[in-house]
């Protein structure tokens, strides 16, 4: 029996889709544990692209149980669209998807408030750069104990009551932010849509926590799929430039309602360089041509919003923080091939701040904005062999890069990805073993 958590070690978009897909071969149950349609995975099945935002990346393996945990915030209309796309490809039969009844629901007014706040923030130079998918407002309502949950979709009267209560709270906020308070007619349409979505989703809903706990008790392999990355964690990330959920490994236990004693392994995923979407400090960011080159080579455009991602050199202080926050025992390195063809590559090994050298990001965001990266320069490498199956198959300088990161992050690699294909992977250690 193995219970493994896979988590992004940076600011999200580390290539979790490919790694989760590979690990799912070994799993019986795959659980998405936080966030909502702010995440995006591009999966390629039989040469056809499938972009998922809510459904776990394990969806490509028929026969596996895919769970949306209670810690998520789910947009029911987006989920129905994804479900239809998956089922058109013969994926996600009825008994392969379980939606936690305790998960919260994103409704049109959450997205409206998210967008209005971002527009206002942009004018005042204070935008977060959210995905505008309503994530923050939905988690706010949850914390205020006014949220709408999946179980409410199945009880139309309670749902209507909650939606009216929410809009009673949010109406003045919407007006204050320059929006127009929704009319009763609009509200009725939203309620009707939510009720209809609930009816269609009803067969997939259930007690997700119990389902996961039972699977663990039966000795099945369970894989928790983190969304976003550790540095976007609400409590420990680069606040306020974070998402509104617990993205670190501990969030998996919280969302599924299982104890930390049940977890066997935590695997972090890091790209061979760094990216960030939205606003917030990013000390190793590359501007101009150097950043453009990485963006183009790595296809660094958001799967959810299409926004160009900010790109930079690998940031070891940030990575060390991710390793610490999630208790990672191993790392998966992705997109090593993207750095191929550079005369040399750099790694940010520390920050300098007020004459001191720091091995992890300072906790105050204004200090992090001022922190100067300290770089080490390493020789570059040419094209990587796509059939590399062992670390010794890599050119010496690529190997030296991998070993340097491993040594300086203090955690061994379990996998190195040298291309987008499943086959372009060096597997060093099986976390389910
Ligand atoms: P929100 O989660 O939409 O509220 O956005 C908050 C911050 O998290 C913004 O900087 C987003 O760009 C970032 N973010 C949210 N989801 C993802 C993701 O899946 N990958 C990378 N960044 C994300």
Task: Note the pLDDT tens digit of each residue in 197-206.
Answer: 999 999 999 9
pLDDT band for position 93 (cuts 50, 70, 90) = confident
% of the chain beyond a pLDDT of 90:
88
Phi and psi torsions of 264, nearest 5°: -95, -35
Mean pLDDT of the chain: 95
Is 44 a residue whose pLDDT tops 80? no
Structure tokens at 214: 């039972």
CA distance to 15, 81, 142, 375, per residue, from 334 (Å): 6, 29, 34, 21
Task: Note the pLDDT tens digit of each residue in 186-196.
Answer: 999 999 999 99
pTM of the model: 0.96
% of the chain beyond a pLDDT of 70:
100
pLDDT of 306 reads 86
Minimal CA–CA distance to 12: which of 283, 295, 302?
A: 302
What DSSP string describes 216-254? Answer: HHTT--EEEEEEEEGGG-TTTSSTTSS-SS--STHHHHH
Return all residues near 198 (Cβ < 8 A) that are at least 6 apart.
Answer: 76, 150, 153, 154, 156, 159
Is 313 a residue whose pLDDT tops 90? yes
113 against 40, higher pLDDT: 113
Task: Note the pLDDT tens digit of each residue in 248-298.
Answer: 999 999 999 999 999 999 999 999 999 999 999 999 999 999 999 999 999
13 has catalytic annotation = yes
Q: Which ligand 1 atom minimizes the distance to the CA of 275?
A: 21
Ligand 1 pocket, residue 417 CB under 6 Å: no
Q: Which ligand 1 atom minimizes the distance to the CA of 232?
A: 8
Is 303 a residue whose pLDDT tops 90? no
Average pLDDT on 292-315 reads 93
Q: Which ligand 1 atom minimizes the distance to the CA of 13?
A: 20
Is 95 a residue whose pLDDT tops 90? no
Closest residue by CA, ligand 1 atom 5 = 130
Task: Note the pLDDT tens digit of each residue in 162-187.
Answer: 999 999 999 999 999 999 999 999 99
Q: At what angle do helices 396-409 and 316-326 cross, to 10 degrees?
A: 50
Ligand 1 pocket, residue 238 CB under 6 Å: no
| Ligand 1 mean position, distance from CA 364 (Å) | 20
pLDDT band for position 409 (cuts 50, 70, 90) = very high
Structure tokens at 383: 């094209």
pLDDT of 1 reads 67
Q: Are 267 and 331 in contact (CB under 8 A)?
A: yes
Ligand 1 pocket, residue 243 CB under 6 Å: yes
């Amino acid at each position: 029996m193995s219970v493994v958590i896979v988590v992004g070690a940076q600011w999200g978009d580390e290539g979790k889709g490919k790694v989760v897909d590979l690990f799912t071969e070994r799993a019986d149950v795959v659980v998405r544990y936080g966030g909502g349609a702010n995440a995006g995975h591009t999966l390629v099945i039989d040469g056809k692209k499938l972009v998922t935002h809510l459904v776990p990346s394990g969806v490509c393996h028929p026969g596996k149980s895919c769970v949306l945990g209670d810690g998520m915030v789910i947009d029911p209309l987006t989920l129905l669209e994804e479900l239809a796309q998956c089922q058109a490809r013969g994926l996600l039969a009825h008994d392969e998807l379980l939606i936690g009844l305790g998960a919260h629901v994103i409704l049109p007014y959450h997205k409206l408030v998210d967008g209005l706040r971002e527009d206002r923030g942009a004018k005042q130079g204070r935008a977060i750069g959210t995905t505008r998918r309503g994530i923050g407002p939905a988690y706010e309502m949850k914390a205020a104990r006014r949220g709408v949950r999946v179980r409410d979709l199945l009880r139309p009267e309670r749902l209507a009551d909650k939606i009216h209560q929410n809009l009673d709270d949010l109406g003045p906020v919407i007006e204050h932010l320059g929006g127009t308070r929704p009319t009763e007619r609009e509200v009725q349409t939203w309620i009707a849509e939510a009720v209809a979505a609930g009816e269609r989703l009803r067969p997939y809903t259930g007690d997700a926590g119990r389902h996961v706990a039972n699977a663990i008790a039966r000795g099945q392999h369970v894989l928790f799929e983190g969304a976003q990355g550790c540095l976007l964690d609400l409590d420990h990330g680069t606040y306020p430039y974070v998402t509104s959920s617990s993205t670190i490994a501990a969030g998996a236990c919280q969302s599924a309602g299982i104890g930390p004693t049940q977890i066997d392994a935590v695997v972090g995923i890091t790209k061979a360089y760094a990216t960030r979407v939205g606003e917030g400090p990013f000390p190793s960011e590359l501007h101009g041509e150097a950043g453009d080159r990485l963006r183009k080579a790595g296809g660094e455009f958001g799967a959810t919003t299409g926004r160009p991602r900010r790109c930079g050199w690998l940031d070891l202080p940030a990575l060390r923080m991710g390793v610490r926050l999630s208790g990672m025992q191993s790392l998966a390195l992705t997109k090593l091939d993207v750095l191929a063809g550079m005369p040399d590559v750099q790694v940010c090994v520390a920050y300098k701040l007020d004459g001191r050298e720091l091995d992890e990001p300072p906790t105050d965001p204004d200090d992090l904005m001022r922190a100067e990266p300290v770089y080490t320069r390493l020789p570059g490498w040419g094209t990587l062999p796509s059939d590399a199956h062992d670390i010794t198959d890599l050119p010496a300088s690529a190997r030296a890069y991998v070993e340097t990161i491993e040594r300086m992050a203090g955690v061994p690699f379990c996998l190195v990805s040298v291309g987008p294909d499943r086959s372009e992977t060096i597997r060093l250690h099986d976390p389910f073993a």
